[in-house]
Amino acid sequence: MKERLQKRIAHSGITSRRKAEELIKAGKVSVNGQKVIEMGYLVDDMDVIKVNGKLIDVEKKVYYMLNKPRQVLSSVSDDRGRKVVTDLIKVKERIYPVGRLDYETTGLIILTNDGEFANRMIHPRYHLPKMYHVKIEGILTNDDINRLSKGLTTKEERYQRAIVENVRRDKKKKVTHFDMTIFEGKNRQIRLMMEFLGYDVLALSRLSIGPLTLDKLPSGKYRALTNHEIKLLNKAVNQND
């Protein structure tokens, strides 16, 4: 995956991006033996980059999606010895989760070693839509669906609108299944929104983040994102700049 030269230099840890730009302008940077002074010059993992004649070592950026099971923490460690998401992904790179899912929530979570990518994905400015499949106790009313579509204000929090679709009411079992899309990532958001309306969430699973979908990935399994998926995610956040 191509990225700007100054960004690649900053990722190596030898200097900041601003300082990297100054080094490029000063003619101190070469790519594959050729001096580069152009801002925004694109490089990939095959390029050999030197700063002041010294080769920089940049860890390859990796991106994975995991179908998180229940009772797994969205973390890289736990002082109580509970299982964490990185226990389920056996790769050599040091990766960490992008955002989080509750301990009891299942579904799609992204893991990467690309800090800038991760920050953009979770930053409130970009409002990437996230779709969940929800199972609640009780029969969800049309009035409550309408309230969710307009947003909710509790004593503690203001929640933006949510889209509810694919509603299936099981009156015999007194439960409702539906898909719910939210546009922010507040802590335990869906559970608290449903609790405010008087419903208990029995099961919650994230199906998608922006253009990225869980599809048929089995619970507890992971795979690398394709270059196309990475480009779609970057495009989704960049279009809001």
Catalytic residue among 44, 45, 57, 102: 102
Q: Are 131 and 210 in contact (CB under 8 A)?
A: no
Place of tokens 């509810």: 164
What backbone torsions phi and psi does residue 22 show, to the nearest 5 degrees? -65, -40
Among the listed residues 198, 12, 188, the one whose alpha carbon sits nearest the alpha carbon of residue 102: 188
Place of tokens 């229940």: 70
Active site residue 102: yes
Dihedral (Cα; 167, 218, 190, 198), 10-degree rounding? 60
Among the listed residues 80, 74, 202, 85, the one whose alpha carbon sits nearest the alpha carbon of residue 133: 202
Q: Are 15 and 9 in contact (CB under 8 A)?
A: yes
Hey, which residues are catalytic here? 102
